[in-house]
Amino acid sequence: MGTDAQGLSHKAVLDAMLLKIPGVEGGDMGGLPAYFVKQKMFACIYRGAVGLRLPAPAAANLQFSMEGVSPFAPNGQTSTREWVQITHAVSADYEKDLEIFKSSIEFVKTAKPR
């Protein structure tokens, strides 16, 4: 897992926050630390940011209403309407985003398979 020091710090905060939520599991997706619900990924850590899957309208709204949010396009892939990345320099700041993570979990839990 090629995670830098900041990524490891983010992971420690996210593990403490997310893994106590029923149904959430930690894992790995393509070498990235990731979080799953019902075996579907809802978040991952990539280059000092956290990618998060949300309903397209919520993802678009966050990009305009919250600082540090942008489209999520890991490894140069094309971004999708449902994925955004949240970037915080201080890992503990992700704790302020708990409700956004919970929204992601609920969305992914009920999302139909593609």
Kindly report, residue by residue over 6-25, the tens digit of the pLDDT.
888 999 999 999 999 999 99
Burial tier of 5 (Cβ tally within 10 Å: 0-12, 13-18, 19+): exposed
| Alpha-carbon gap, residue 25 to 69, rounded angstroms | 24
Residue 35 has pLDDT above 90, yes or no: yes
29 neighbors 110 (Cβ within 8 angstroms): no
Q: What is the pTM of this model?
A: 0.91
Domain with 40, as residue range(s), is 5-110
Q: What is the CATH number of the domain that holds 79?
A: 3.90.1150.30
In total, how many domains does the chain have? 1
pLDDT digits (tens, 9 = 90+) for 63-110: 999 999 999 988 778 788 999 999 999 999 999 999 999 999 999 999
